Amino acid sequence: MKKIILLFISFLMLQATAQSTFTAQQWQDDLKFLQHTVHKDYPFLFKKVTSEAFDAAVEKLHKQIPNLAQHEISIGFARIIGMFKYGHTRMGWHGNPTALRQFPVNLYRFSDGVYVQGVHKDYSQALGAKVLRVGNMSVEEALKAVYPVVPVENEQFFKAYGFLYLMSPEVLHAQGVVSELSDQLELTLEKEGKTFKTTFEVLPAGKMPPRTYGYIQTSDEWLDVRASGETPLYLKQLDKIYYYEYLPDSKTVYVRQSQIQDDPTEPIPAFYTRVFDFIEKNDVQRLVLDVRLNGGGNNYKNKAVVTRIIESKKINQVGNFVVVLGRRTFSACQNLVNELDNYTNAVFVGEPTGENINFYGDNNEVILPNTKTPVYLSFAWWQDKPQWENDDWLAPHIAIDMSFEEYKTNKDPVLEAALSFDDSDFVLDPMQYMTELYTSGQQEKLATEVPKMVRDPRYKFFNFEGELNEAGYNSIQRGDPQTAIAIFTFITQLFPESANAWDSLAEGYLEAGDKEKATEYYQKALKMDPDGPTGKNASGMLRKIEVGSH
């Protein structure tokens, strides 16, 4: 089924009234209608939240409604829907009786903090400043407070879209970041070694900062902190959905595609025919496909991209095809990168995607009967990979962050990593590499190389502990506890502060019949995590050992 680009970030709303035009009973009836609709028609959405937790949250809000202002009720509904944690399942703000107004500033999280990327010219003093506090809260506390309102698919999704909610006075008040609903917001900022405060006036309802793919660009009224001069390739020609450029120094064709839609001037198949004609007729050694800004569209249009790459013997080789991912890689573009991961020799660089690998996508609009509040509930499950390969996101092989200074000075470390990739000094599949070292008897190399990889920031999204732990338990299931003990011991050497590592090692010894060692390591795990789930498991296992039930 055709996919629709995520439109929830369009905060064009009706003007909010000073007080609710609906009764508490009408809101409560709409809440019950929503609850009934979910249970009746969308019970499959209870994947990340239980129906019991959902119903409990509904009952809590139902009781609170008579004492809440209209915007607090609407935000409460958003919290309820946000519990499903799928980006396509969301509150509708266009046509909502509550307006989520916006302050005239665009914030962005770089590797070294949250900064003012763009701002209205009336607040030019704030441009490029690091954000320390929102009202009286630290910026991190404020983000944590608004988090439940956002339909957070994963942490990358929140990085991409959470600031839209943080910069709304209605959300700030409803979530307790500020004590009163106000048209003004004070930010505490830091710039050039000095700390100062700036107070922003909210924009009229229906008005938003003019963002393009998440960034404000310099215009007559708005300012971008980026220095004038050469524009990075990923921000060039943003009036086009896609374009390509040849980089002769690296013999690379660079493509930026920022939607899965046809550009009005050239459909996707024609564009990629032109790209690959150039590749075949010229001295090209590498293709970089940049989809870090791509929020999706129609995933049936991915075929023309994937098939051309598969067909190209010149490009479809490890190191010759690099894909740039980012926090805004979402929806139909998640389908695209899944397919590229499945069927090509793509190397992924950048940040993880903003979508789960398998996810609920396409949604139906449900209009609540009394308040006419629009709610969007997903009905289509998209599964490009086996369930055991599902994850919060598609992670890059090579993790690269961008600092504020790099953005400000038009540097692009992500593209630099893509252009300089050399598989001779990088392991694309760490688990396979570790397995080969172990099975070939190269224990000394395993003991020296893997700790280096664990510390290497390029591998920061590879879950060394989790993958090794799974391998250990697979050994137990095969009836080989000694191999499991060797793996679990290795994990404790890599992650000595992990209670789970010691808990797993205890289980390995227990399976091998060594209750003394099992007891020692369960006690260690319990001491490290006395009140957490690992400690609870360790405590239970110790009781079983004591009574001889294991």
Q: Give the model confidence (pLDDT) of 438-497 as tens digits.
A: 999 999 999 999 999 999 998 999 999 999 999 999 999 999 999 999 999 999 999 999
| Residue 176 within any structural domain of the chain | yes
* 509 and 488, same domain (yes or no): yes
- Domain boundary residue among 200, 224, 248? 224
**E strand or H helix that includes residue 243:** strand 242-247
Helix axes 499-511, 464-477, angle to 10 degrees: 10
Q: Round to whole Å and give the CA distance between 519 and 378.
A: 48
pLDDT at 19 over 50: no
* 135 and 179, same domain (yes or no): yes
Placement of tokens 């399942």 in the chain: 89
Read off the pLDDT band of 21 (50, 70, 90): confident
Say what the pLDDT of residue 274 is: 98
Domain extent, residue 196, equals: 105-224
Three-state DSSP state, 222:
strand
Over the chain, what is the mean pLDDT? 94
What is the rounded average pLDDT of the residues 84-100?
A: 95
Instruction: Specify the CATH number for the domain of residue 200.
Output: 2.30.42.10
State how many domains the chain has: 3
- Domain boundary residue among 199, 224, 249? 224
Percent of the chain with pLDDT over 90: 93
Q: Round to whole Å and give the CA distance between 232 and 82.
A: 35
Residues 6+ apart with CB under 8 A from 87: 6, 8, 151, 152, 153, 157, 161, 330, 331, 354, 355, 359
| Residue 75 within any structural domain of the chain | no
| Residue 71 within any structural domain of the chain | no
- Domain boundary residue among 195, 224, 253? 224
* 433 and 543, same domain (yes or no): yes
Q: Give the model confidence (pLDDT) of 319-377 as tens digits.
A: 999 999 999 999 999 999 999 999 999 999 999 999 999 999 999 999 999 999 999 99
What is the rounded average pLDDT of the residues 498-519?
A: 96
Chain length of the chain: 550
Say what the pLDDT of residue 549 is: 64
Q: 484, 473 in Cβ contact below 8 A?
A: yes
Read off the pLDDT band of 1 (50, 70, 90): very low
How far is the CA of 473 from the CAs of 388, 470, 485, 506, 533, in angstroms?
15, 5, 10, 12, 18
Say what the pLDDT of residue 424 is: 80
Instruction: Specify the CATH number for the domain of residue 507.
Output: 1.25.40.10
**pTM score, two decimals?**
0.90
